[in-house]
Structure 1
Amino acid sequence: MPLSKSSLTRALRSKTIAPNPQIFREAGHALNNSRSQARRSAKPPSPLKRQKTAFDHLLNNITAHLTNTPFSSRSPQIPYLHAVLRAYETNPSHWSKYAHANPDKQYTRNLVCEVPGIFNLLLLVWTPGKKSPVHDHADAHCLMKILKGEIRETRFAIPNFPGKEGPLAETSSVPYGMDNVSYMADSVCSFPLLQFFFLASKESCVHS
């Protein structure tokens, strides 16, 4: 006997699977947990750390050595410092942020780092064709390294008759090229102060 429309509808409804509330609750909990986990794991990207350069290591090496080694004004650790300066291979990307030029001056003196009473490290940028007057080094032991280009150092003898005028006697004139290192000091050094001289190119020569 054929079923009436109302009977067929009741029959279909009786065969429909009723939703299980427990399944929906468990699915909701799982979705919330996954969202919470996503929020916890979505950390902001950490800033990129600047990689230390060989120049940074040079500064740290010099600072650590001079601040941890007993220092005598008459016998500073010149051989060691000379060696670490020679070992550094210059790279403008390491130190260019310190090299500030001024074409209206003979040179600029740019402080890189210092420990008062022990040493200071300067980077000087020379204007092309300029030179300094004859001078001493203020009772300091001085090391110089060419970072770029070349420069000429001329030395003169101290007059034997203080207070009297007369021409200075030139004792040497030496050109220094990139990565060369030189040492200079007054005959009597009364202060335990080291100055490091960094020079750059003929086009923009750095000297301290």
Structure 2
Amino acid sequence: MSILSRPTVPVTDKFGHRHEHLPKKYSLDDLVRDVKAYLGDSNGISSSDVDKNYLISLVKKYEASDGGWTQFYHNDPQKNYTRNAIENINRKANILLLVWNPQKGSPIHDHANAHCIMKVLAGNLTETVYAAPEESGSTPLQIKSETTHSPNDVTYIADDIGLHRVYNPHPTKVAVSLHLYTPPNAADYGYHIFDEATGKSSYVPQARSILRPNEASE
């Protein structure tokens, strides 16, 4: 059985006939609803308020085979990767769809004191995690781990773990990933990128995303 296969559930109709029905998939709308319900309607959440394990469990429930994410798919072939906004949850979280061009990746970056949960939806993505330098520009960055993630894999990072870089290793195919950031500090206040050879950091004012028509800017 495929890892994406779901067991059937026998159901008896009013005539006593048994039918096999697939259970309802956990959809992208379900994920957005549950994240909204957890974070609430008011502003003011901080990184320390978040139960990251609960949010990770929600992202794990969402299957890559669900087609709900395709409506947000847009790829700019001139960029390393394209950030597509799925939902901005009252300035408490951003849910994004990222499309990675072949053999392209992100710079090494921090997460502006926020939680980042990433789920691979298509293709494979290699994540390299680095120890954060004690002082900018003092020494080369040190690699802590390197992992290639496949569809439905979920990974988590925050600044207390380190920095990371995400890269699509395939020579011809794009990769797609779902990202949940909470709080959305990189979009609101900016973040830092790092030079691997020197450890020097550079400030990036804001992480912008492509929005759907009639949607307000992040």
Structure 1: distance between partners of 2:68 and 2:168:
13
Given that 1:148 and 1:200 are in contact with CA atoms closer than 8 Å, whether structure 2 keeps it comes out as no
Q: Which residue of 1 aligns with 2:146?
A: 173
Structure number with higher strand proportion = 2
CA distance in 2, matches of 1:118, 1:61: 13
Write out per-residue CA displacement over residues 130-182 of structure 1, whole angstroms, 9 at most, x where no aligned residue. 0111111122111111111210100111123x144321111110111101111
- Partner Cα separation in structure 1 for residue 104 and residue 54 of structure 2: 32
- Are 1:64 and 2:37 counterparts? yes
- Residues 1:111 and 2:67 are matched in the alignment: no
Q: Indicate how the Cα distance of structure 1 residues 200 and 118 shifts in structure 2: closer, same or farther if over 3 A, else same.
A: farther
Alpha carbons 2:104, 2:169 under 8 Å: kept: no
Q: Which residue identity lines up with residue 31 of structure 2 in the other structure? A: L
Shift of 1:81: 1.0
Structure 2 residue ranges without an equivalent (≥5): 1-24, 162-166, 180-218
Q: Report the equivalent of 2:58.
A: 84
The one-letter code of the counterpart of 2:158 is A
- Alpha carbons of 1:92 and 1:126: their partners in 2 closer, same or farther (altered >3 Å)? farther
Q: Is the 8 A contact 1:159 1:168 kept in 2?
A: yes
SS in structure 2 at match of 1:96? helix
Q: 1:157 to 1:93 in 2, by over 3 A?
A: same
> 1:64-112, CA deviations, whole angstroms, 9 ceiling, x for partnerless residues?
1111699552141211111111111122521111110111110111000
Helix, strand or coil for the counterpart of 2:71? Answer: helix
TM-score norm. by structure 2 comes to: 0.60
- Report the residue type matching 2:93 in the other structure: F
Quote the sequence identity (%).
Answer: 36
Structure 2 counterpart of 1:25: none
CA distance in 2, matches of 1:200, 1:152: 6
Q: Which runs of 5+ in 1 are unaligned?
A: 1-51, 189-198
Aligned pair count?
146
Moved over 2 A (4+): 68-73, 163-166, 199-202
| Distance (whole Å) between structure 2 residues aligned to residue 117 and residue 59 of structure 1 | 14
Q: Is the 8 A contact 1:100 1:108 kept in 2?
A: yes
CA distance in 2, matches of 1:94, 1:148: 13
Question: Quick check: 1:148–1:201 contact (8 Å CA) kept in 2?
Answer: no
Select the structure that is richer in helix.
Answer: 1
Give me the CA root mean square deviation. Answer: 2.7
Q: How does 1:110-189 map to 2 (within 5 A)?
A: 110-160=84-134, 162-187=135-160
